[in-house]
Structure 1
Amino acid sequence: MRTVYLNGAYLPETEAKVSVFDRGFLMADGVYEVTSVLGGKLIDFPGHAKRLARSLSELNMRAPDAMGDLLEIHREMVTRNNLTDGLIYLQVTRGNPGDRDFHYPPAGTAPTLVLFTQSKPGFAHAPLAQRGARVISVLDLRWGRRDIKTVQLLYPSMAKMMAQAAGVDDAWMIQDGHVTEGTSNNAYIVKDGRIITRALSHDILHGITRAAVLRFADEAQMRIEERSFTLDEALNADEAFFTSASAFVMPVVEIDGTALRGGTPGPVATRLREVYIEESLKSAI
């Protein structure tokens, strides 16, 4: 049985309870982060902690009292759950005001802080990375502040179910004919040796893995263009891939039924995945 962290206590998952009046449950009024664990160590933790602070600030949400102890808590979660490879999910909500109200809770209301683990043995060597992911395009119907990592994940969940119904692995979302991002990842194409990905804005999540991958690509003297790209560009790309904390760098071999590179992962995505995992393990804590 997993151990869950809830508001200062480490509890068996069956005993971890949150009020029905919690704003996360009633209003999706919460933010979250997911940190990968490889070999018992945390990947890109400082980036996730920094983005969490930004999300809280953007929503004027009180930070948990344990904010300064998050690294220690994450390490304790690794130990208590005997986690070798997997994920640590963290969620902060605006807390329990005692009743349902559109207005924010009274000043001083304590936020809710939850962490739990998901074990994924060997997920750095996922079979999907060897064969490549297939995606479909769907309209992007999310709210406008996608740069804030909120728990408002209904539409991404719907898009993932659309992908499942289509017999593919994921979906890329389209706004005004341009790709924004995947359901839970940042999207890229490769054309004539150039890595193309949408620039940071309110339109996409400021991915921690994205930042690391682009830094490694720049150090390898790969050409990078941060700009929006159309679905047509993606269909005619030499390669495509996506990045996230749980997928690392994932080659995309098919978009809307159109195969890229004959349906095989490309060299740029394959190399970036190798480099990301190798370099991230060096800096893991």
Structure 2
Amino acid sequence: MSWLTRVRERLPFGTKRETPDNLWIKCPHCQDMIFTKEYEENLNVCPKCAHHGRIGADTRLDQLLDDGFTLLPAPEVPQDPLRFKDTKRYRDRLKAARASNAHPDAFTAASGTIEGKPAVVGVQDFSFMGGSMGMAVGDAFIAAAQRALDDKCGFICVTAAGGARMQEGILSLMQMPRATVMTRRLREAHLPYIVVLTDPTTGGVTASYAMLGDVHVAEPGALIGFAGQRVIQETIREQLPEGFQRAEYLHKHGMVDMVVPRHDLRETLATLLDYLSPAKAA
């Protein structure tokens, strides 16, 4: 027995404490390490560089809506209608995505109030297959818009998507005109439709309901566009300007109405709802 072992047996050393794996988080922008608790208390915004991290549907709804909101039921749609398979079956991809998410697909909606103003809020979750738009997303968007029509209140859509869901082919692309019809119905009813563009909002979502709002609000630094920057650059054979497709660039060029930090988003949406909602009959 070595002298070190003998000393350790005689001295009252405590057991080694385990350090949680999720105690720290690295900011993807500035690469600094932040206490996870501090990061979450700051609404998932880096306290050092103000990078706005991606958040899930439940977190987003909790941040925007007053307490006591009601989740709308998820629509039932055919599973794997094209029996699609690439390196893995689409049915298996769905199963894996649902195992790691609290909701059955990428779009979750709730009815409630924002600082006392009635609203329906729909949120796309990028963590569910890249927030891709398939039949379930289309039906959920339509159901949420219809609930806003029924309740005669504003509809807020928080977008985050990589585009249409390729595994559903033309069925996913058909969600673009279906959602467009609902935005028109909201306008005809004089009900506000407000879009909150978060990182990233791209593809068919950008080409449809993400750009049809009465007001377009973007989070700082959000990537917003249809095709990717590399694809555009190779197509037009021109060097694109710095910050191209970012929220601040689009705001400067009139594609986005305002860029609002996450800490001010709830108050801003309440103000917009108050201003845009039809006056109640006396």
TM-score clears 0.5: no
Q: TM-score, normalised by structure 1?
A: 0.23
Structure with greater proportional strand content: 1
Q: TM-score, normalised by structure 2?
A: 0.23
The one of the two structures with greater contact order (alpha-carbon pairs below 8 A, sep at least 6) is 1
Larger Rg belongs to: 2
Structure with greater proportional helix content: 2
